[in-house]
């Protein structure tokens, strides 16, 4: 590697510009997509790539509560504090209310008092 570089660290990052390097493929070098700096693929020989997934149980990630009219309140729960009753836990869902190049609107419903709030992103 180049010792006069501004960046020092693991081989996952370009030593010239700091960009995350792509995974090695069938070529003899790994090229930075930003500055075209190249590293010999043999520098990646000792690397081990590991990944894992952790799934939350359905019970921990959603709530079902009776509300007026016999309807159920279902959906993922977030640690948002209700502005009306102070309860820590609100069910939320998102909708695209404006044009596609703008953020979604998030609707929150308190799991205790059913107060509803909305937040535009």
DSSP per-residue string spanning 56-75: --HHHHEEEEE-TTS-EEEE
Binding residues for Zn(2+), as ranges, are 14, 17, 32, 35, 82, 85, 110, 113
Beta bridge partners of 106: 94, 119
- In angstroms, the first-to-last Cα distance of the chain is 43
Binding residues, as ranges, are 14, 17, 32, 35, 82, 85, 110, 113
Distances (CA, A) of 95 to 66, 119, 120: 23, 11, 10
Q: Which residue has the tokens 């952790």?
A: 54
| Gyration radius of the chain's alpha carbons | 24
């Amino acid at each position: 590697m180049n010792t006069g570089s501004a960046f020092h660290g693991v081989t996952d990052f370009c030593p010239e510009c700091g960009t995350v390097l792509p995974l090695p493929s069938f070529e003899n070098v790994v090229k930075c997509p930003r500055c075209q700096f190249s590293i010999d693929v043999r520098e990646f020989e000792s690397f081990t790539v590991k990944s894992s997934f952790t799934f939350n149980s359905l019970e921990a990630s959603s709530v079902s509560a009776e509300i007026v009219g016999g309807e159920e309140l279902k959906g993922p729960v977030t640690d948002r504090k209700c502005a009306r009753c102070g309860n820590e836990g609100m069910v939320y869902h998102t909708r695209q209310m404006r044009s596609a190049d703008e953020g979604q609107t998030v609707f929150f419903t308190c799991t205790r008092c059913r107060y509803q709030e909305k937040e535009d992103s």
